[in-house]
Amino acid sequence: MTLNHMNRRHSSVTLLQASKSNPGLARLMSLQHESSARLQAITALIPDSLRAQVQAGPLEDGVWCLLLSNNTTAAKVRQLLPAFESHLRVHDLDVKSIRLKIRRQE
C-alpha cells in the first residue's frame, strides 16, 4: 500500500444523503416507506398471535406484497384481505391488490 492510499479517508454517507443524489435509490426508499405505512395502518387488524409473522413486502404498480412466515399464517391472513383493503382505502393508502408470499426460511 502506498502512503497516499493509507492516508485517504473514506467519508461515510447516510442512506438519506445517498438517496438524494441517486434517483433510483430515492424511489426504492419511497416505496419501502409507503409499504411500511400500509403495514402500520393494518397492524391493529392483524391478530396479536400473527403480527410477528407478517412483514411489509414490496409495493409495485399498486400491488402490495405481505411477507408471511408460513402457510398457516397465509391461510389466516388471506381471510382478512378484504378488511385490509377496505381499511387502506379509508386511510388513502389504496392498493390494487394485496399479494401474499411465504418468506424462505434461512
Residue pLDDT, tens place only, 12-70: 766 566 656 677 777 777 878 899 999 999 999 999 999 999 999 999 999 999 999 99
Sign of CA pseudo-dihedral 26, 58, 67, 37: positive
How do residues 64-91 score in pLDDT, each as one tens digit?
Answer: 999 999 999 999 999 999 999 999 999 9
- 3-class DSSP assignment, residue 9: coil
pTM over 0.95: no
With contact defined as beta carbons under 8 Å apart, do 59 and 65 qualify? yes
Residue whose C-alpha cell reads 383493503 in the numeric block = 85
Residue 58, SS3? strand
Separation between Cα atoms, residue 74 and residue 54, nearest integer Å: 9
Query: So what's the pLDDT on residue 22?
Result: 72
Per the model's pLDDT, the better-predicted residue between 27 and 2 turns out to be: 27
Span between the terminal Cα atoms of the chain, in Å: 39
Residue spans of beta strands (DSSP E) within the chain: 54-60, 63-68, 97-102
Residue 78 domain-assigned?
Answer: yes
Asked if residue 74 is part of any domain, the answer here is: yes
List the domain range (segments joined by +) for residue 83. Answer: 13-102
Instruction: Indicate whether 22 belongs to any domain.
Output: yes
pLDDT top residue among 13 and 5: 13
Query: Does residue 83 form part of some domain?
Result: yes
Which CATH number is 46's domain given?
A: 3.30.300
Looking at the structure of the chain, the number of domains it has is 1
Q: What is the reported pLDDT for 10? A: 63
